[in-house]
Amino acid sequence: MANISCSSKGISIFLFLCIFFHSSALAAKTRHFKWAVEYMHWSPDGLENVVMGINGQFPGPTIRAKAGDTLHIELTNKLHTEGVVIHWHGIRQFGTPWADGTASISQCAINPGETFVYRFKVDKAGTYFYHGHYGMQRSAGLYGSLIVDVAESQKEPFHYNGEFNLLLSDWWHKSSHEQEVDLSSNPFRWIGEPQTLLINGRGQYNCSLAGKFSKSSINPPCQLRGNEQWAPQILHVQPNKTYRLRVASTTALASLNLAIGNHKMVIVEADGNYVQPFSVEDMDIYSGESYSILFTTDQNPSNNYWISISVRGREPKTPQALTILNYSPNSPSKLPTSPPPMPPLWNNYTHSKAFSSKILALMGSPKPPSNYDRRIILLNTQNRIDGYIKWSINNVSLTLPSTPYIGSIKYGLKNAFDLKSPPENFPLDYNVVKPAKNQNSTYGSGVYTLRFNTSVDVILQNANALAENVSEIHPWHLHGHDFWVLGYGEGRFTKEDEKKFNLKNPPLRNTAVIFPYGWTALRFVADNPGVWAFHCHIEPHLHMGMGVVFAEGVQRLRKIPNEALGCGLTAKLFMNKKGN
């Protein structure tokens, strides 16, 4: 419980705050979980495969807590040959940066047979999720939902009658280990498009729930009893009610479009932050993003309706994923009478940009600092290093050290990583719409050291990849912070583009997209002591080096738990101290 001293001599507002903080502290709980991570046989899409699960579940168990609660998760690694960590996506980890769950950055990987305790506070209500952050374990299925409700004494700024949760992902029949080898090979082998899109870990391969509407023999109607691991989870609703749909995307590759047949959706939350409500027929959701959507069951109650997700930004070679919105008392297995919603064309970026531009902070939300203290411009390119294809930021492809940054910086270890700071910009003559003439890049493990409590602008600059006329969507996720999305633009960012920044009501997010050949401007305050990853949330892109590392206020940290640092040079440091 918080140790707050309240004087009876204070003014009424102070007394109110004292009562509020005391009641909040009394209401907050510590929630205990005991988890074991292991591989197991599972059928996510009708074809049995090996998945990574927790306590025999895929996806992993859903965590539900209230703002102010402390989570105590005792995680045991039951994998036989590899380490594991779990990142609590969107949780800022104030005061507990070693619990962020990033291997080689905030902690050592948890070795086979070992147990590590994640203990941290969930300080802000919202829709979040968790996932593996070691190798490509997210591609192997290591993920689950994390939902934080408002504290006992608080209310949401909107009303609803019921709630559902959708965790979206993509699935390959090729193992994540084989994918890692493919991506690290010379000649390069791309992993290809996913075989299936999953909704709450369930999808259908080589058949379709809407097969009766298709003339194709490739996806005939699915033959389901309803109790299969890959059978869809149907959403049961009552007519004339308003429901909250929490949606998060932990996809490894796919950007998605979500629609509910015949129903409008009102967006009210993005990445754990309230937004000014706005209505859409369909919405894009990129890997790492989460939303809350309100919809009203105001359609003909004698019908059921499709919920669909479709691929965006890549030529779709993966079929839509579907489930059913079931109006009671209809039979849940009664198929909708119309075909599934038609998604926008995969490369209709005008549609995608229009949606992103509508996301604005709820009135009364925190505003960004009016100026920045430091600006870092990050050029996203595909390059070659000794013939190997890599993703690079300002011509540097990230490699992670064997000693976690948080320990090596805290204890002043000089040989743990590159001490030279990475580039903060790229050459003036670089043409972002053409493949680079010099396609050679370098590996690097350097860190951007940020002055504590300063305002930092990051400009994400997209460019052409190695092939002609190819520039991809990249969703970027920042650990340890929310940032304000100040704006988007076309082509190369210039000083003139600052005039387009939205400083009035930009949304607070932890994940933001850059569109092909464009830029996205972000601003955040470096007020959270720790070392934080900032990276493309597409799993193969991160594996190929598409990320950077920020460090701020590390010397302000209290003692870092030894359990987080039992590898590399910090392990030797502790052994030497014991020996002395």
Per-residue pLDDT tens for 198-218? 999 999 999 999 988 877 667
Residue 246, pLDDT above cutoff 60: yes
Which tops the pLDDT comparison, 427 or 3?
427
> Which of 111-125, 325-339, 521-535 has the least mean pLDDT?
325-339
The pLDDT, as a whole number, for residue 16 is 40
Residue carrying structure tokens 């309240």: 6
Query: If 0-12 CB within 10 Å is exposed, 13-18 middle and 19+ buried, where does residue 325 land?
Result: buried
Q: Please report which confidence band the pLDDT of residue 435 belongs to, taking 50, 70 and 90 as the band edges.
A: confident
The average confidence (pLDDT) of the chain is: 93
Residue 423: CB atoms within 10 Å:
18
CA distances from 168 to 226, 246, 273 (A): 20, 11, 20
Q: Please report which confidence band the pLDDT of residue 535 belongs to, taking 50, 70 and 90 as the band edges.
A: very high
Per-residue pLDDT tens for 39-91? 999 999 999 999 999 999 999 999 999 999 999 999 999 999 999 999 999 99
Cα atoms in the 13 Å half-sphere on the side-chain side of 536: 31
The pLDDT, as a whole number, for residue 382 is 93
The pLDDT, as a whole number, for residue 577 is 63
Average pLDDT over residues 333-346: 94
Residue 171, pLDDT above cutoff 60: yes
What is the rounded distance in angstroms from the CA atom of residue 28 to the CA atom of residue 421? 41
Residue 468, pLDDT above cutoff 60: yes
The length of the chain is 580
Q: Which long-range contacts does 413-421 make (Cβ < 8 Å, 24+ apart)?
A: 413/569, 413/570, 413/573, 415/569, 416/568, 416/569, 417/445, 417/446, 417/447, 418/444, 418/445, 418/446, 418/447, 419/446, 420/446, 421/446, 421/447, 421/448, 421/449
> Which of 150-154, 453-457, 477-481, 518-522 has the least mean pLDDT?
150-154
The pLDDT, as a whole number, for residue 214 is 77
Q: Please report which confidence band the pLDDT of residue 574 belongs to, taking 50, 70 and 90 as the band edges.
A: confident
Average pLDDT over residues 153-163: 96
Average pLDDT over residues 305-314: 97
What is the rounded distance in angstroms from the CA atom of residue 142 to the CA atom of residue 82? 13
The pLDDT, as a whole number, for residue 436 is 78
The pLDDT, as a whole number, for residue 455 is 98
Residue 566, pLDDT above cutoff 90: yes
Residue 20, pLDDT above cutoff 50: no
What is the rounded distance in angstroms from the CA atom of residue 261 to the CA atom of residue 339? 9
What is the rounded distance in angstroms from the CA atom of residue 172 to the CA atom of residue 141? 10
Residue 557, pLDDT above cutoff 80: yes
The pLDDT, as a whole number, for residue 226 is 87
Average pLDDT over residues 256-268: 98
What is the rounded distance in angstroms from the CA atom of residue 565 to the CA atom of residue 186? 34
Query: If 0-12 CB within 10 Å is exposed, 13-18 middle and 19+ buried, where does residue 331 land?
Result: exposed
Measured in Å, how far apart are the chain's first and last C-alpha atoms?
38
The pLDDT, as a whole number, for residue 17 is 41
What is the rounded distance in angstroms from the CA atom of residue 413 to the CA atom of residue 223? 60
Alpha carbon dihedral 492, 496, 497, 499, in 10-degree steps, equals 180
Pairing relation of β-strands 518-525 and 455-461?
A: antiparallel
What is the rounded distance in angstroms from the CA atom of residue 238 to the CA atom of residue 261? 16
Written as one string, the DSSP assignment of 185-245 is -SS-----S-SEEEETTB--SS-BTTGGG---SSSPBP---S-STTS---EEE-TT-EEEE
The pLDDT, as a whole number, for residue 26 is 57
Residue carrying structure tokens 């204890």: 411
Average pLDDT over residues 372-389: 95
> Which of 24-33, 160-169, 262-271, 406-415 has the least mean pLDDT?
24-33
